[in-house]
Structure 1
């Protein structure tokens, strides 16, 4: 379960690792994603435990916050893109943990997405009101997955952290991944460009036990 948590953590952080060259710079707002889970018949019970999972991305200037609800666990990730620091708040099995990482610590960890490339292909759809193109992601281990991306919405500036979407020509609004025999489709359901209150990025100071990342993520 910790391996699955770490992988989801990487996914949620990496969705921000893109260069700003779009028509609209995304400096303030919220994106609401859904997570649909499919599995082989013999693993359907595990898939059912994740049904209805969501994550929400908040952006305001240099600040990012990701709220992820995986049903069996919840986490919040607070990111300061100016100094590349991360604070993770994790709730699982009745326990609440706090974990702090910097960009260098993340870069030193194994990452199957290093060396990823993308090939545009025929296909398009409208997602959350934005026109999207289809690309196929190619991983160094030979696996592939589809990504629908828009060129009309991008974060401000450059954000670097073990980049899952390095080389993609836009912002991913839908993609599919296979994790432990579970096929997960992550889709943006709503994009709200209303200003996000600064209080959204206030990190709780109590109620969590701080843990060492090396011990927790093993």
Structure 2
């Protein structure tokens, strides 16, 4: 009889252990499914509105789109305004190189900019504090969480972000180091110009290498050549 009860107790312990293991496995997979992922490949498109500096009277607000294409450490950002203005920056974060892609009629150039200058521009925005707010809304089909950003100098900014993605190699100039993919935000420049961004498409999908590389017909101008041209 004693052996029977011992066997029964062992059976119950084994059943309990299997039950606990099942719960832990379920929790692990649920956590993995809901965990943040880096936005490492895909396209993000924002509607943009640009308010000119207050001292430029008579200048209307410009509107257009801002598209970010990501493939690993390669990031291409393109501003296209309704008036036809277009400007692209191509970042290679692994090699720390950035090119400004320019079109002027039949002339196409890729100008290498100074990486240190890009980093220096972002320096004053580091060290901000993110304060989550209670309200949420849907932007580009994603749940957008509201937050207030406070910079070290006391200025603030409002943002909406998705907790589903981290930016990966994407760097938001006025929010460097933020751990979330921004869906709605604004960039204020020292001259008073303000650009408002609102996401309308966030698509994690395969991207062709050609979409994040300098086209073969572009003339590449090195940063050294560019600096020499500016000094003349």
Tell me if TM exceeds 0.5: yes
Match among 175, 181, 198 for residue 171 of structure 1? 181
Distance, in Å, in 1 between the alignment partners of 2:53 and 2:88 is 30
Closer/same/farther in 2, CA of residues 41 and 141 from structure 1, 3 Å limit: closer
Closer/same/farther in 2, CA of residues 96 and 140 from structure 1, 3 Å limit: farther
> Residue in 2 aligned with 1:28?
41
Any unmatched runs of 5+ in structure 1? 1-20
Name the TM-score, length of structure 2 as normaliser. 0.66
In the TM superposition, 1:1-218 aligns within 5 A as 23-38=36-51, 45-48=58-61, 50-51=62-63, 53-70=64-81, 71=83, 73-91=85-103, 98-101=110-113, 103-109=115-121, 111-156=123-168, 159=169, 164-166=174-176, 168-179=178-189, 180-206=191-217, 210=221, 212=226
Instruction: State the secondary structure of the residue aligned to 2:210.
Output: helix
Closer/same/farther in 2, CA of residues 215 and 144 from structure 1, 3 Å limit: farther
Closer/same/farther in 2, CA of residues 91 and 138 from structure 1, 3 Å limit: farther
Closer/same/farther in 2, CA of residues 148 and 109 from structure 1, 3 Å limit: closer
Deviation larger for 205-214 or 53-62? 205-214
Name the TM-score, length of structure 1 as normaliser. 0.70
Instruction: State the secondary structure of the residue aligned to 1:190.
Output: strand
From the CA coordinates, give the structure whose radius of gyration is larger: 2
- 8 A contact 1:147–1:172 mirrored in 2: yes
Structure with greater helix percent:
2
Instruction: State the secondary structure of the residue aligned to 1:100.
Output: strand
Aligned length: 192
How far off its partner does 1:203 sit?
Answer: 0.5
Any unmatched runs of 5+ in structure 2? 1-33
Closer/same/farther in 2, CA of residues 92 and 178 from structure 1, 3 Å limit: farther
Instruction: State the secondary structure of the residue aligned to 1:47.
Output: coil
Output one character per residue of 1:34-76: Cα deviation in whole Å (capped at 9) or x when no partner.
102456998574233x22x211111112221111114464211
Deviation larger for 163-172 or 54-63? 163-172
The higher relative CO (CA closer than 8 Å, separation ≥ 6) is in 1
CA RMSD of aligned residues (A): 3.5
